[in-house]
Amino acid sequence: GENVGLHLPTLSVQEGDNSIINCAYSNSASDYFIWYKQESGKGPQFIIDIRSNMDKRQGQRVTVLLNKTVKHLSLQIAATQPGDSAVYFCAENEWGAQKLVFGQGTRLTINP
């Protein structure tokens, strides 16, 4: 696949279980955070975002938690399905800077 992922953290979960993917960010001035999903050979796909004035946001089967005190972001995926297998990236954006700064990425593998 596109991401050999030799240095990517990996997470393996059983189909139907919940997954939690973690991300630490470094810029205390970042105020907008996004989770992207990237499948092999494709571009990053938007999953969910959160702004710094919130600490939790829910979507369909996904929840993002933001802890600004320890600069930590997490993505929770409920009832994981085979189609959730991908590399997941967190990204941060500092107000006024426009560009996204991406984290290392985590490869999620779903076991049947």
At 83, is the secondary structure helix, strand, or coil?
helix
Stretch that binds other proteins, among 12-20, 41-49, 55-63, 66-74 (CB under 8 A): 41-49
Whole-Å CA distances, 35 to 54, 57, 59, 111: 15, 12, 12, 22
| Contact pick of 18, 28, 104, 111 for other proteins (by CB under 8 A) | 104
Residue nearer to other proteins on the CB measure, 2 or 15: 2
Positions 71 through 90 that interact with other proteins (CB under 8 A): 89
Distance CA 95, CA 31 (A): 6
| Contact pick of 25, 49, 57, 109 for other proteins (by CB under 8 A) | 49
